[in-house]
Every structure is written in structure tokens, then in C-alpha cells.
A and B are shown apart, each in its own frame.
Chain A
Amino acid sequence: MAAVPFERIDADAPKLAPANAILTVDDIVKRFETPDGVLTAIDHVSLSVAPGEFVGVIGPSGCGKSTLFNVIGGLLDGYDGTVKVAGERVRGPHPAIGMIFQEESTFPWRNVLDNVAFPLEIAGMPRAERYDRARHFVKLVGLDGFERRYPAELSGGMRQRVSMARTLAAQPKILLMDEPFASLDEQTRLLLGDKVLQIQQQLKQTTLLITHNITEAVQLSDRVVVMTYRPGKVKRMVEINLPRPRSSEIVSSEAFGRYVAQIWSDLREEASRGLDDEESRKLHEGEKR
């Protein structure tokens, strides 16, 4: 395999846990009781993120990405394994972790500025100070001028940026994102990707991005974790040795294409298993009727 121009690290090879990891996910197993029996959503998943690192987690729909997101964010319990922040075990939501959700999550009854100031208000920061800080983050995501607008007046991409600014305003040590751009069109997605890169480089923000989009994963990450479909396991970790600072233009480079092809070859098998599963379920549903 000498022709492969980048490093491949097998999941079952010695774990790549940097000694200084700020986030460590160790041997997580999460099962759900369903009417059709027990479903193992994630199966012995381990990964770690170093300070300032941007890690992408990629896998087909239904492979347990959101489950992993909720476990790390402390919104789900009843799992085996441990989640540690800076070496300390966490149970439940942790102030060091900021979450950005897949679904639209702005508060429709608050304008942009009040949405972004929300975590600061909760923390009891004085009014003037929290608005100052909120304005800074509104600007950071490129929404200055929209402070007084309500979410209903904004596009999907703008709303997602409001959520992002709201989470960033709490200044979490670790940013956790679950397919934040999944509902957006391709152009918006690329441009928002640029924005995330810019912000990440500016804030040196440690980030764990969950996605099913290969381009997005390669464009943004230092390292990509490829997951298998049902049960969700870590299939492979791929270091992305593309130069930084990056922008969306990198998408057209040759090295980028090779990474995408490589990850796709890993993912293809999983995605098609996911598809078969889906189709057979539809078929059975049809039979039942």
C-alpha cells in the first residue's frame, strides 16, 4: 500500500490517545430497548481530541452519530464506558462542552442578540457586559446588522450561525457539533464551512464535528474518524495533512480528492449496508400492512 499518500491508522491498532487529550471517550457502548429487541447504537467507541484539534466523525445515517453526540454532551445516560474532560470523568452536561445541534435550535421568541446572550444571561453576567460579548460573537459569525432580527426573519444558514454564536458565547473548551449544516444547501454549506474554519483558526477552538458529508469532514478536520453502520464502531482514523489556514478552495485540490476517495471507499460499504437495511425495513413494513 506504498502508493497511498497518507497515513492510515487502524482502529484496533494502539489507540491514538494523546497524553494531553482534553476530551477522551473510552469504550462507549450504548444500547436502546426497542419493540424489536435491544439495538446497539454504538459499540465500544473510543476516541480522543487534543487541545486545539479539529476532529471529524463521519458515518452513514443511523450509525449512531447523534447517540455519540448526546453521550459526550451528557444528554444521554445509561451507557457503558467513560467520557472524560481534561482527565476528569463527566456525567451529565459539562460547562466545558458546548453543543450545536442538528435541528434548528434558535429560540424563536428571542432576537439574534438575545439568543446569543442566552448562556451569559443564565450565567448571571451583567446586562451591558453580556450584550457586549454577544455582539462580539454575532459579528464573529458574520451576522452584524441582524442583532435585532428574529429567527423567523432569517434564512436557515443564518439561524444555524445564530446557534453557533450562542454556543461559542459561552466560551466552551470543547465545541461539539452534530451535522450542523445537514439541512442547508451545498453552497451555503461550503461557505459556512469557511466560516467555521475561520472561527476555529481565530479561537483555536477544540472541535468535534459530527457529519455524514465527506467534503465537509475533509475540508475542516485534522483527523477524521470513520464509523461503521450498526452497530456503530470506529472503523478507521484518517489524519488529514492538508495545510492550514484552509478555505473552501481547497476542495478542488488533488490531495483533497485523494482523501475524499479514500474515506469514500471506507464509507461506501457502510452506507450501502445502511441502505439495504432501510430498504428491507420498508419492504417488511409493506408486508405487515
Chain B
Amino acid sequence: MTAAAALAKNRYVPAALGLGSFVAFIALVELLIRVGVINRFIVPMPSDIIAAFPRVIVEEHVLQRFLLTAGEALSASILVTIFGVAGGVLLYRYHLLRLATETWVAAVAAAPLVLMYPLYLVIFGRSALTIVMMGFTAGLAPIMLKTLEGLLATRRVLINVGRSFNLTPSQQFWKILFPAALPTIFVGLRLGLIFALINIVGVEFLINFGGLGQLINELAERYDLAGTYAAICFVILVSICVFILMERLERWLRPVD
């Protein structure tokens, strides 16, 4: 075993290496700004960003905003998971529906849906609901398509095993099709939840309403760059939370590998 392979086996070394590189990168940026290679009026110094945290937390109520954005993200994630997977199952189940809609579901998946926000404002008002629905809309198509793909890719022989054991249609779905499609469904969920998050923060920013997106908008307009970046750190925290939840869900549903 080479030294590198031995280190990779250690529990702490990879994590420490990742964190170390991150810290080193921050230190390098700090240094480049201090010596004037990077313009400090465009990129704030990391030390200033860190210093901005208490101010952002106390004066800008970042925790409440964080909870609001996180709540929107969570609601949109739950909605999009339920409707996206159910939609994929419907497309699988009804061949005509699939033929009729698959092409434009794929087109929707690729479209910049964020541009629909004026319409949503009209329908849902300038409220958290608009933001949740935007996130939901953005994440729906990829989850539907990946669910459909996973179900269609279920190996014929596994379906035949179910038939040979006389499974009812509902057993056939829950005991064979769904677990077989799960790995692909989770690929769709990763994509869909990323789309949803981007759109949630983006729309908050655009309509200047609610949580972290609005804060970023305000701080940027005040030209408080350090504060803006500190707020962005909280957006990253939201996405980390969503992904941790999703991984929990995945480990619960798929104990394998």
C-alpha cells in the first residue's frame, strides 16, 4: 500500500485535507487582496467577511431570515419530491400520457423557469407562497423525468420474478418497481432540489421579499460587500441542511452501498 492510499483509509485525513485546502485558499485570497493583486473594492477580504458575521446576525436578523428561507426550501423540497415522484409514476403508468407530454416535460426541465416569477406574483401575491411555488416548479420536471427513467429501466427479469410469485399490481410496484428505480429517483432528487434552491433564493432576491435572498439584495445595494458574502454563507448553510436531510432519507430507504 502506498503512503497516499494508507492516508486515504484514515477516517480523519480526507476531511482534514479538505478543510486545510479550504483554509489555505481563504488565506491566499486574503494575502492577494492585502498585497493588492485583487482589488479590495470588488472582493472583500475574508477577515472582513468573518468580522461582518456578528453585525449581520444581530442587526439584520439573519437567523430569522435563515429560518424563513430554510422553511421555504424544506416546503418546496417536500412538495417537489411528492409531486415529482408521483408525476413520474403517472407518466410510467399511462403510456398515452407519457407519449403526449414527455417531450415538453423535458423542455420545461431545460427552461429558465425563473422568468415566470411575474406570473407567480400575480397568482400567489408577493408572499412566501410565490417563492415556494417557484422552487417547486423549477424542481418538478427533472424529478419526474428521472423517476420515469428509473421505472422504465427496471430489469424485465425482476418484474417476471414478481409475476411468478403472483404479486398484486400494488405489490409489484412497491416491492419491485419502486425499489429498483430508487437510485435513479435520487439522482433526480439531487438535481430537482438544487434547481428548487437556486430559484428560491433567486426569487427572494428578485422580488425583494422574505429571507436570505432579500438580505443579499439589500446588503449589495448598500454596497456592504463583506455583509453580502456573510449572508451568502447562510445560503450555503441552507443547501447543506437540505442535502443532509436528503442523504438521511436515502440511507433510510436504501441501506445498500
Select from chain B the residue with minimum beta-carbon distance to A97.
Answer: B164
Of the residues B155, B176, B257, contact of A152 by C-beta under 8 Å: B257
CA distance A118 to B158 in the complex (A): 12
Residues facing A in B130-184 (CB within 8 A) are 155, 157-158, 160-161, 163-167, 171, 175-176, 179-180, 182
**Chain A residues closer than 8 Å to B161, beta-carbon distance:** 99, 101, 105, 107
Q: Is B256 an interface residue (CB 8 A)?
A: yes
Select from chain B the residue with minimum beta-carbon distance to A119.
Answer: B165
Chain B nearest CB from A124 CB (Å) reads 11
- Of A97, A108, A170, most buried by chain B (CB within 10 Å of CB) is A108
Contact B166 A107 (CB under 8 A): no
Q: Is B254 an interface residue (CB 8 A)?
A: yes
CA distance A170 to B158 in the complex (A): 17
Q: Is A122 an interface residue (CB 8 A)?
A: yes
Residues facing B in A82-119 (CB within 8 A) are 93, 95, 97-99, 101-105, 107-110, 118-119
Q: Is A73 an interface residue (CB 8 A)?
A: yes
Contact A101 B256 (CB under 8 A): no
Chain A nearest CB from B208 CB (Å) reads 46
Mask of A62-74 contacts with B, CB within 8 angstroms, 1/0 = 0000000000011
CA distance A101 to B158 in the complex (A): 10
Contact B157 A150 (CB under 8 A): no
Select from chain A the residue with minimum beta-carbon distance to B156.
Answer: A103
Number of interface residues of B (CB under 8 A): 19
Q: Is A125 an interface residue (CB 8 A)?
A: no
CA distance A94 to B188 in the complex (A): 38
How many pairs of A and B residues are in contact by the CB < 8 Å rule? 52
Of the residues A98, A108, A118, contact of B256 by C-beta under 8 Å: A108
Q: Is A75 an interface residue (CB 8 A)?
A: yes
Residues facing B in A128-172 (CB within 8 A) are 150, 152, 170
**Chain B residues closer than 8 Å to A75, beta-carbon distance:** 160, 163-164
Of the residues B160, B165, B179, B254, contact of A101 by C-beta under 8 Å: B160
Chain B nearest CB from A32 CB (Å) reads 16
CA distance A104 to B166 in the complex (A): 19
Q: Given that A93-B166, A95-B166 are known contacts, is A109 also in contact with B158, CB under 8 Å in the complex? A: no
Of the residues B164, B167, B171, B182, contact of A99 by C-beta under 8 Å: B164
CA distance A97 to B164 in the complex (A): 8
Select from chain A the residue with minimum beta-carbon distance to B164.
Answer: A99
Q: Given that A73-B164, A99-B164 are known contacts, is A109 also in contact with B254, CB under 8 Å in the complex? A: yes
CA distance A99 to B158 in the complex (A): 12
CA distance A73 to B155 in the complex (A): 18
CA distance A122 to B172 in the complex (A): 10
Contact B176 A107 (CB under 8 A): yes
**Chain B residues closer than 8 Å to A74, beta-carbon distance:** 163-164
Mask of B111-130 contacts with A, CB within 8 angstroms, 1/0 = 00000000000000000000
CA distance A170 to B171 in the complex (A): 17
Contact B256 A109 (CB under 8 A): yes
CA distance A170 to B167 in the complex (A): 13
Q: Given that A122-B171, A150-B256, A152-B256 are known contacts, is A105 also in contact with B158, CB under 8 Å in the complex? A: yes
Q: Given that A108-B256, A109-B182, A109-B256 are known contacts, is A101 also in contact with B166, CB under 8 Å in the complex? A: no
Contact B179 A109 (CB under 8 A): yes
Contact B256 A103 (CB under 8 A): no
Chain B nearest CB from A119 CB (Å) reads 5
**Chain A residues closer than 8 Å to B155, beta-carbon distance:** 103
Contact A101 B167 (CB under 8 A): no
**Chain A residues closer than 8 Å to B166, beta-carbon distance:** 93, 95, 122
Contact A122 B160 (CB under 8 A): no
Chain B nearest CB from A109 CB (Å) reads 5
Contact A122 B165 (CB under 8 A): yes
**Chain B residues closer than 8 Å to A104, beta-carbon distance:** 157
CA distance A93 to B175 in the complex (A): 18
CA distance A61 to B254 in the complex (A): 38
Select from chain A the residue with minimum beta-carbon distance to B165.
Answer: A119
List 27 interface pairs A-B (beta carbons < 8 Å), by A numbering: A73-B164, A74-B164, A75-B160, A75-B163, A75-B164, A93-B165, A98-B164, A101-B157, A101-B160, A101-B161, A105-B157, A105-B158, A105-B160, A107-B158, A107-B179, A107-B180, A109-B179, A109-B182, A109-B254, A110-B179, A118-B165, A118-B175, A122-B165, A122-B166, A122-B175, A150-B257, A152-B256
